[in-house]
Amino acid sequence: MAVFLGANGQVELRRTGSDAAITGTIAISDVNTQNDRFSFGSDEMDLITGDQIEIRSTNNSVLDFIAASGWPDNTQHNDGVFFVFVDEVGGIKLYNDFDAALAGEVAGRVSLETPSASLPVSITVRNGNIRILGQVSNYEINTERSAVDVTALSEDFRQQYSGLVSGNGRIECFFDYERRGYLDASQRQVSATYLEMPIYMNQLILRTRLGSEFFAKLTLVGRGPKPFGTTVDDDDEIYYEVNGVITNVAMAFDPSEPVRATIDYVTTGAIRLRSKMVSNNLLQEDSGRLRLEANQDGFIELEQEE
């Protein structure tokens, strides 16, 4: 009998939020072409560094404050999708790459130009990529189905009716705000390209108009060698998929201990337990099996098992 240890789990997140757009006006004086930075009224703090946004002019004018080099076709448009870096005073810098946006450096920054006039725009958060939450020390997910009491008068036994399913949980992380020292994903290690820092969870709860929602993939059994040593099931995977909202973030600081962040969340939709069992066998209609093997010419052959 195999005993699975809590050694292969990980938390993967996708940034989500409401579909409501932030609207405002970018004045000529709001654009700093020397630092490629612009401001956006009082709503820019709803954005978090690393957010992927869609920025669109509401009067169908061209976004002439963004240089043509910022678009893939080197042509200015009335809308575009970029990653943002939000500085300490709420200034926004645009990038075409997530890693460059997190760093906030000159390299990779989209150049800005002086606009011809004030421009009314709307900004909507568009984040579709799943990223691994780094430095997680442990997590938990609790599922619960409520029971509705439908007992009627004169009945001798209490009657219960199956209610709705809800969930909640907790994630604990060693706090970090930079990405460093991670190996490539091909070595079955956390890749810096797909890594989310715990500071994001602390920022997410402070969102107001865009909300603190997220989508999470909580891995129970991950890809790779299993604890009992076999390699046949390297690609097997079991995980939860949940949509959630952060309800509490606590920071624990002790001079002699690593700084820890504890994040509590509740689910806001369906809770799905997924399983992927990958085999090198193809099942036939008669319940037999066909094994795939490579021949000396490099082609795949089907070999009938006895």
Q: What tokens does 172 get? A: 């604990």
CA 216 to chain centre: 7
Please tell me the distance from the alpha carbon of residue 94 to that of residue 83, in angstroms, as a whole number.
Answer: 6
Per-residue confidence (pLDDT) for residue 187, from 0 to 100: 46
CA separation for the pair 301, 306 (Å, rounded)? 16
Q: Which of 273, 239, 251, 243 is nearest to 172 (CA)?
A: 251
Q: Are 271 and 240 in contact (CB under 8 A)?
A: yes
How many Å apart are CA 97 and CA 83, to the nearest integer?
A: 6
How far apart CA 233 and CA 247 sit, in angstroms, is: 37
Cβ–Cβ under 8 Å, residues 2 and 224 = no
252 within 8 A of 204, measured Cβ to Cβ: no
94 closest CA partner among 117, 115, 113: 113
The answer to whether 120 touches 63, Cβ cutoff 8 Å, is: no
pLDDT value at position 305?
53
The pairing of beta strand 281-283 with beta strand 260-276: unpaired
Among candidates 43, 34, 166, which has minimal Cα distance to 113?
A: 34
Query: How far is the CA of 16 from the CAs of 21, 48, 179, 210, 238, in angstroms?
Result: 13, 12, 22, 9, 23
- Tens of each residue's pLDDT in the chain, 306 residues: 566 677 778 898 888 866 677 888 888 999 999 989 998 765 545 788 888 889 999 998 899 999 999 998 999 999 999 999 988 878 899 999 888 888 888 888 999 999 889 998 988 888 778 888 888 989 999 999 988 998 999 888 988 888 889 999 999 999 887 765 454 445 445 555 578 888 888 888 888 777 788 899 998 887 776 666 666 666 778 899 999 999 999 999 999 999 999 999 999 989 999 887 765 555 556 655 656 666 665 555 655 555
**pLDDT given for residue 301 in this prediction:** 60
**In the chain, where the domains are located:** 17-125, 132-276
SS3 content of the chain, % helix, strand, coil (to 5): 10, 45, 50
pLDDT at 296: 60
Q: Which of 193, 76, 57, 199 is CA-nearest to residue 118?
A: 57
Look up residue 122 and give its two tokens: 């709307």
- From the list 214, 154, 200, the residue with the least C-alpha distance to 13 is 214
pLDDT at position 36 is: 92
- The residue type found at 5 is L
Contact call for residues 107 and 100 (beta carbons, < 8 A) = yes
| Count of C-beta atoms within a 10 Å radius of residue 188 | 13
C-alpha count within 13 angstroms, C-beta hemisphere, residue 217: 15
